[in-house]
Chains A and B, each alone.
Chain A
């Protein structure tokens, strides 16, 4: 039997404006796929901005973007390439 490795393709991603983040944690807590975590890095204000846990987990739903009170993150879905 040949094992076919199922590669999970990510459906979307996020854009994070690191310096705007004030570390409230809304995006991390309420991401429906748990795709975000707080980074170990600090931004200039001393907060830990979010970072993707792994690319494949993000589906680009933009829940984070709607929640973010500082306009520091938004999600987007990849557009399908036309054949």
Chain B
């Protein structure tokens, strides 16, 4: 289905990543945002606060991130598309409720505009240190989807994609921005509403008496209903059966939680998205995501100019990780170079998938700024020659 034209700001506009993210949410049909101010994400909610009153949206600044992360879930069960926005310290606070959303299969979007951590860290400066937390941050086992924009345009596009994925898989989706992307201003093309593809919430359409809120029908995903439609649903964070009733047995745990994991893992090929450049003849492949995927470009160009066969694989969807593609490439390439603004997070996934078949070299960076492309180039050089 196409986007609702009310609210879509069609045109070519200079927006920073945070503002573009808000516009993406609006275009996706999000009409409920609960948030709490935290640098460098605050502009997202400020824009929502500004735009929502005249487009029938509800924005509320809640008393903390914990309240924000569950208020959006109440809104989803009342029938709205909902989003919350934060950065590192708030992301940590929201972990319990990301787990609740995964457990209750509540489709919603969490935006993390990453800054240097741990703890208060460097509030106004970029990092990519929350990537593993995005996958494993809440306790227990569950599947989750995370997407990494690298420009304000992508903040717009990928926020729409995040909403679509969350509705398709009835799962919380994380938009992993960073301060650099969030605060850079670039030209964003917002298309007319009838060119924006929206995945509508898949509501149940069968007989009321047969309805089971957690019985999967399509791709291991159950259809939704909302409060007020007379289904007398019960939603709980306790391990539950298909009716939604708590069941305290290992069998119920196995049935439910395995499906929550498989829902993403076994659908991974449909969800995974990478962008590849000059991979076909590459001896060395640079794997990057987020802002770093732009920083590597001059390094790769320089290497190519000097005759080195270097390719670039960019993670658009970081979780689920593109295991299949990495395993394929590991058969043919000599080395993978993984620059990230942290001390080694996604590189661990690369190492796992490569399983020793090629060299994997991390180019870490402490957070606070992006890499110097020269440092990435140096590692590419030694990987090609070595």
A–B contact at 8 Å CB threshold (below): no
**What is the interface of chain A, defined by CB distance below 8 A to chain B?**
none
User: Chain B residues in contact with chain A, CB under 8 A?
Assistant: none
